[in-house]
């Protein structure tokens, strides 16, 4: 007897796992292929990722990858979203070809399970909700709250647009959660917060933590060694076309690094991640700042740094950059926003500080106490080993699937 069939939808091609959401979607997809024959539908926002289509076809029953239009081609969807009072971050992913693929796959029969990754893809399956098919929605984060934070930080007119998006997304998230069978979030804190939104549907809300590839992100793994100049050498990793990361990097350059340099004039700050905007690139090579752009392997950069920092001020969910740095046994300093949702001990497994002054003070202290740096790094690695393997997280996903699948079968009997 063959495996049951599952439709997997993602707002971004889940391979390669080179940024936060793709790390999560890839590990979930990879695990689900062990239980199901997969029908994959996803959008491609980076033309270079097209080269991975053949690999995904070896894993899946069939694959539908559509290019995500950019620039002025997005204008009709934006105008449609404004006219119809839709969240723009949902309207931008509307595509008749994806809708046809989903309808054809489900209406053809044989699909008993649907896994939707990210709220942008939820509208494609809402018409197919019934009590004979298990539909799982991985919201990952509460996007509406992220836009609420954006609105608080931005000036007019962006604040108005972000506030609109936050309001409409909150309504949309509640609508989706009440239609699907399972709603997943990246941390217990996110799940608990959403349960307050979901009301009587809170029993379908679950936390599914992120993991980290502990064999890959291992300080003893076979990657090319490198050195970074400066004492201390600070590193921050992440996709640099993501606004919270850009905000964190600029905050470090403008406020944190100058405070560190008062006591440690040789301090350097390396920003590692693809697609840095012009406002970051303008700092490359000045005052100890280096902006690398995309690198093939972040591990040498993390390993070479004295301290990894995650000075995120606008955040939802779990920061993979923190998990990866801890797995690499690098002493890590995170803001409370970047620490949120991570099962670790502040002050023992990593350091947590909120203000620029406190972050700078922790950096200086760790620089002056190399034994404490090593101890903190080892403790971070041990914490990741104790509970952050992807296998550990996927066991929880299996329990969630089995529980809700059994419930649907009892209702149908």
What distance in Å separates the CA atoms of residue 143 and residue 353, rounded to the nearest whole number?
Answer: 24
What distance in Å separates the CA atoms of residue 247 and residue 253, rounded to the nearest whole number?
Answer: 10
Find out whether 62 and 106 touch, Cβ atoms under 8 Å.
no
What distance in Å separates the CA atoms of residue 97 and residue 128, rounded to the nearest whole number?
Answer: 17
Q: What is the mean pLDDT of each run of 10 residues along the chain (413 residues)?
A: 90 92 96 97 94 97 93 84 91 95 91 95 92 89 91 90 95 94 93 84 89 96 94 96 94 98 98 96 97 96 98 85 97 95 95 98 98 98 96 95 86 70
Strand 182-185 to strand 268-272: parallel, antiparallel, or no bridges (unpaired)? unpaired
Confidence (pLDDT) at 86 = 93
Confidence (pLDDT) at 131 = 61
CA distance readout (Å), 258 to 122, 250, 271, 278, 336: 45, 12, 16, 21, 21
Which of 142, 150, 196 shows the shortest CA–CA distance to 172?
Answer: 142
Q: How many CA atoms lie within 13 A of 78 on its CB side?
A: 8
What distance in Å separates the CA atoms of residue 7 and residue 111, rounded to the nearest whole number?
Answer: 7
What distance in Å separates the CA atoms of residue 240 and residue 350, rounded to the nearest whole number?
Answer: 23
Confidence (pLDDT) at 154 = 84
Task: Specify the residue for token string 């090579």.
Answer: 285
Encoded tokens for 62: 């069939």
Find out whether 149 and 169 touch, Cβ atoms under 8 Å.
no
What distance in Å separates the CA atoms of residue 135 and residue 146, rounded to the nearest whole number?
Answer: 25
């Amino acid at each position: 007897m063959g495996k049951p069939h599952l439709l997997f939808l993602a707002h971004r091609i889940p391979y390669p796992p080179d940024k936060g959401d793709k790390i999560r979607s890839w590990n979930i997809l990879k695990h689900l292929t062990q239980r199901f024959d997969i029908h994959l539908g996803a959008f491609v926002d980076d033309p270079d990722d097209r080269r991975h289509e053949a690999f995904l076809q070896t894993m899946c029953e069939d694959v539908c990858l559509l290019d995500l239009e950019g620039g002025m081609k997005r204008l009709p969807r934006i105008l449609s979203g404004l006219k119809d009072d839709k969240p723009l971050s949902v309207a931008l992913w509307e595509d008749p070809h994806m809708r046809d693929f989903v309808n054809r796959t489900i209406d053809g029969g044989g699909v008993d399970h649907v896994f939707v990754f990210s709220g942008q893809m939820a509208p494609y399956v809402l018409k197919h909700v019934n009590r004979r098919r298990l539909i799982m929605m991985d919201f990952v984060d509460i996007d509406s709250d992220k836009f609420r934070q954006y609105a608080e930080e931005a000036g007019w007119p962006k604040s108005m647009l972000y506030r609109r998006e936050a309001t409409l997304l909150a309504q949309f998230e509640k609508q989706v959660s009440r239609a699907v069978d399972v709603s997943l979030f990246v941390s217990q804190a996110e799940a608990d917060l959403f349960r307050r939104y979901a009301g009587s549907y809170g029993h379908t809300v679950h936390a599914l933590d992120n993991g980290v590839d502990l064999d890959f992100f291992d300080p003893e793994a076979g990657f090319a060694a490198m050195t970074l100049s400066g004492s201390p050498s600070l590193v921050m990793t992440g996709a640099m076309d993501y606004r919270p990361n850009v905000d964190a990097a600029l905050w470090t350059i403008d406020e944190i690094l100058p405070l560190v340099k008062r006591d440690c004039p040789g301090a350097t700050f390396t920003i590692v991640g693809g697609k840095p905007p012009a406002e970051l690139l303008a700092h490359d090579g000045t005052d100890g700042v280096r902006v690398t752009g995309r690198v093939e392997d972040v591990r040498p950069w993390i390993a070479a740094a004295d301290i990894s920092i995650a000075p995120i001020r606008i955040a939802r969910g779990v920061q993979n950059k923190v998990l990866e740095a801890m797995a690499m046994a690098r002493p890590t300093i995170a803001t409370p926003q970047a620490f949120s949702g991570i099962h670790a001990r502040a002050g023992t497994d990593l350091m947590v500080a909120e203000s620029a002054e406190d972050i700078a003070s922790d950096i200086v202290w760790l620089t002056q106490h190399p034994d404490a740096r090593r101890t903190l790094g080892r403790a971070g690695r041990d914490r990741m080993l104790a509970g952050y393997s992807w296998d550990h997280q996927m066991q929880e996903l299996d329990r969630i699937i089995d529980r809700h699948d059994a419930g649907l079968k009892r209702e149908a009997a």
